[in-house]
Amino acid sequence: MSKVKRVNINAIVPTVILGVITILFAQCGSPTPESEPQIAIPETFTNLCSSCHGTNLKGETAQSLLDGSWQFGSRTGDLFRSIKFGHPHFGMPSWGSVLDDEQINSLVDFLIETEKQLGITKPAIPKEIETQDYLVNVETFIDSLDTPWGIAFPDENTVLITERPGRLRVVNNGVLNSEPVAGIPEVIAMGQGGLLDVVLDPDYSSNGWVYLSFSHGIHQPEQEDTLISMTSIVRGKIKDNSWQEQQIIYQAPGQDYLPASHHYGGRISFDNQGYLYFTVGDRGNSELAQDLKKPNGKVHRIHADGSVPESNPFYGQTEALNTIYSYGHRNPQGITKHPETGEIWEAEHGPLGGDELNLIKPSLNYGWPLITHGINYDGEIISEVVRMEGMEQPALYWKPSIAVCGIDFYSGDLFPKWNNQLLVSALRFEEVQLLDIEGDRVIYQQTLLKNAGRVRQTSPGPDGAIYVVLNKPDKVLKLTPKS
């Protein structure tokens, strides 16, 4: 695999400058390239990858592989899929037809071991980022967390943060209470399950209700004590750092619980009329997303007390659950209300490719798994079609998947140019995106923050700052404009 290269004077000049810098550093006693550990580069890399990533892995026409930063995800599976399936529109070809899985795994092992050998770590989180509109200060708001998932703001001095292993934490005046809130419901903290979202009642200032979503478990003694689980919603009040007056808002029948520990959905949002929307993923059983008698793969709508609105699109139908508002969703881990229109927007994980952003409307079918812009993780085709009559197209889909998670519209005084634009969290791509939406169309998008960690949720606080909930590292960042 060879490439004919033209001499590029713009590439030569930086090389000359780099050579001079290397000499200067050598005169100051710093390590020279000759003193770096020698890397045993496999023939597969030399033949297929070096023409783009450089013979020394430090980048040529493509990115360096030795800077601790991965464009398409840093986990072993992310690297494997990037090599096998490629990202052609980013210039990364697919090698699945050339290399078998064992050869690809060997390349992945080589890249990971090389990072370890050279002591390469992820770059530090920047203290300042430059966006299209603002210079932004980045500071750590709270750390010492364990897999934070949801965030809510009772007032300007108080923040609630869920930790997926099953703790609700309170931050007062920038200080994390060392003791979690006592008495919250027991969660099933396996796989993707645990304590998920936290949302305040629209009338929180007068009624004090706090809503939690979580994976609720049931033991089945007759099946060797098998643990099955499902998404559940409760509300309660926090008094003296204790969870009190709990009410179950949504709990599925036992027959709808499954042994799977993924695709819970679990996000909650209120609209302008006080209706509560919550998401349930397909729970790994994709065909249930099309079954109106099952809660899986749906956006549900209820009253704040758990009762079902008679205006729901399937209310009173014997062949459909009364709580269903829309269906055909895979794993919706983002839902929010537009601050002006009151419209409900939802984001969901696709498979390999095909993450979606949807404007949610009653009774509509969003297609999963009959239509999708993605394929299975093993490369198998899920559906031959991406469009079908009677099924909605997303307002935006991401391919490759960014592992889209929490979403929230910005509203505040600190970043006025971003008002009513959508903040999007990405786990796999480790980034915060900002989407400018006009009507039902995304007309522009930019990346605000990249490679700080797996972004679980991004929300504006009452002070107008943007709070970014990270996993690995497990902390919350605070973004403010640089004065």
- What local confidence, expressed as pLDDT, does residue 424 receive? 98
* Total number of domains constituting the chain: 2
91, 118, 145 — which closes off a domain? Answer: 118
Would you state the structure tokens that stand for residue 291, as one six-digit string? 């079954």
Same domain for 86 and 133, yes or no, is: no
- What local confidence, expressed as pLDDT, does residue 21 receive? 31
Same domain for 62 and 136, yes or no, is: no
- What local confidence, expressed as pLDDT, does residue 37 receive? 62
- What local confidence, expressed as pLDDT, does residue 115 receive? 87
- What local confidence, expressed as pLDDT, does residue 47 receive? 87
- What local confidence, expressed as pLDDT, does residue 91 receive? 84
The verdict on whether omega for the bond into residue 369 sits within 30 degrees of 0, i.e. cis, is: yes
Round to whole Å and give the CA distance between 244 and 183. Answer: 7
Same domain for 72 and 158, yes or no, is: no
The verdict on whether omega for the bond into residue 37 sits within 30 degrees of 0, i.e. cis, is: no
What are the catalytic residues? 263
Same domain for 74 and 143, yes or no, is: no
Instruction: Return the amino acid letter for 249.
Output: I
118, 139, 169 — which closes off a domain? Answer: 118
Which DSSP state fits 316?
Answer: T
Contact (Cβ atoms closer than 8 angstroms) between residue 249 and residue 211: yes
Q: Is 2 within a domain?
A: no
Q: Is 4 within a domain?
A: no
Round to whole Å and give the CA distance between 324 and 304. Answer: 15
Sign of CA dihedral 251, 256, 262, 266: negative
74, 100, 118 — which closes off a domain? Answer: 118
Round to whole Å and give the CA distance between 325 and 315. Answer: 10
Q: Is 346 within a domain?
A: yes
Same domain for 137 and 106, yes or no, is: no
Same domain for 171 and 67, yes or no, is: no
Same domain for 314 and 448, yes or no, is: yes
Residue with tokens 């093993």: 378
Round to whole Å and give the CA distance between 193 and 262. Answer: 6
- What local confidence, expressed as pLDDT, does residue 36 receive? 57
CATH code: domain of residue 449:
2.120.10.30
Same domain for 252 and 364, yes or no, is: yes
Sign of CA dihedral 17, 23, 28, 29: positive
Q: Which residues constitute the domain of residue 328?
A: 128-481
Same domain for 400 and 440, yes or no, is: yes
pTM confidence score: 0.88
- What local confidence, expressed as pLDDT, does residue 74 receive? 87
Q: Is 3 within a domain?
A: no
Which residues are within 8 A (CB) of 266 and not within 5 positions of it... i.e. 6 or more apart?
A: 196, 197, 213, 214, 215, 231, 278, 279, 280, 281, 333
CB-neighbour burial class of residue 411 (10 A; exposed 0-12, middle 13-18, buried 19+): middle
CA-wise closest residue to 299 among 353, 230, 348: 348
Round to whole Å and give the CA distance between 44 and 77. Answer: 19
- What local confidence, expressed as pLDDT, does residue 357 receive? 98
Q: Is 64 within a domain?
A: yes
Same domain for 114 and 143, yes or no, is: no
Digit-by-digit pLDDT tens for the chain (483 residues) are 333 333 333 333 333 333 333 333 333 333 444 455 677 888 888 888 988 998 888 888 888 888 888 888 888 988 988 998 888 878 889 999 889 999 899 999 999 899 888 888 888 999 999 999 999 999 999 999 999 999 999 999 999 999 999 999 999 999 999 999 999 999 999 999 999 999 999 999 999 999 999 999 998 877 767 899 999 999 999 999 999 999 999 999 999 999 999 999 999 999 999 999 999 999 999 999 999 999 999 999 999 999 999 999 999 999 999 999 999 999 999 999 999 999 999 999 999 999 999 999 999 999 999 999 999 988 899 999 999 999 999 999 999 999 999 999 999 999 999 999 999 999 999 999 999 999 999 999 999 999 999 999 999 999 999 999 999 999 999 999 997
What is the number of other CB atoms lying within 10 angstroms of the CB of residue 462? 14
Same domain for 112 and 133, yes or no, is: no
Same domain for 190 and 75, yes or no, is: no
Instruction: Return the amino acid letter for 360.
Output: I
Q: Give helix 76-85 / helix 101-118 axis angle, nearest 10°.
A: 130
Round to whole Å and give the CA distance between 467 and 158. Answer: 13
CA-wise closest residue to 74 among 112, 102, 106, 48: 112
- What local confidence, expressed as pLDDT, does residue 35 receive? 52
Q: Is 123 within a domain?
A: no
CATH code: domain of residue 41:
1.10.760.10
- What local confidence, expressed as pLDDT, does residue 41 receive? 86
Q: Is 416 within a domain?
A: yes
